Structure 1
Amino acid sequence: MSRNTEPPVDVDEAVARINSRGAKIQQEQLERTLSQLQQDGDLTAAQRLAVEQLSERLVERLLAVPRASLQDAARNADDERIETAISLFE
């Protein structure tokens, strides 16, 4: 646990970076996948929506643990853990 005289690390900034990185990866992979599926044949609107929803659910589930860990770090004033998370999701 880091307790020093430096200003506290903003956990909201860390969560925002995680969300931003997750959204970027999700969008890149969604576009790639939809492009590949469309090359193989026509996608219906329902199929496209299903793929989009799947990508959103996967990202949300994958990022839930880092977000929860950051909230725990904030409650415990663990700036080192928050800084590590920020650096991992840049």
Structure 2
Amino acid sequence: MSRNTESPVDVEEAIARIDSRGAKIRREQLDRTLSQLQADGELTADQRMAVERLSERLVDRLLAVPRSSLEDAAKTADDERIETAMTLFE
């Protein structure tokens, strides 16, 4: 594990990649689920909003740990951990 006094790896970029990947997957799965629900019958605006909020909360909760880990890595200049996250979330 590399530990420097100053991290040359951009942790904000790594977090942005995580967020972008999560948003992409959320949107794909949300569209798929809403299409299935609508095919089964009428979906009210309230039901649609509830499903959308659920998808947002799930993604936020699932990505909270990687985000926190990257913030910790930035504080300790753990470039290896940051680079790994950037690779995983391309």
Structure-1-length-normalised TM-score: 0.94
Deviation at 1:19, TM superposition (A): 0.4
Give the AA of the match of 2:32. Answer: R
Question: In the alignment, what sits opposite 2:22?
Answer: 22
Match of 1:84 in 2: 84
CA displacement at 1:3 relative to structure 2: 3.8
**Alignment-mate amino acid for residue 11 of structure 2:** V
Q: Which residues of structure 1 form unaligned runs of 5+?
A: none
Point out where structure 2 has 5 or more consecutive residues left out of the alignment. none
TM-score calculated relative to the size of structure 2? 0.94
Identity value in percent: 78
The runs of 4+ residues in structure 1 deviating greater than 6 Å are none
Q: How many positions carry a matched residue from both structures?
A: 88
How far 1:23 sits from its partner (Å)?
A: 0.3
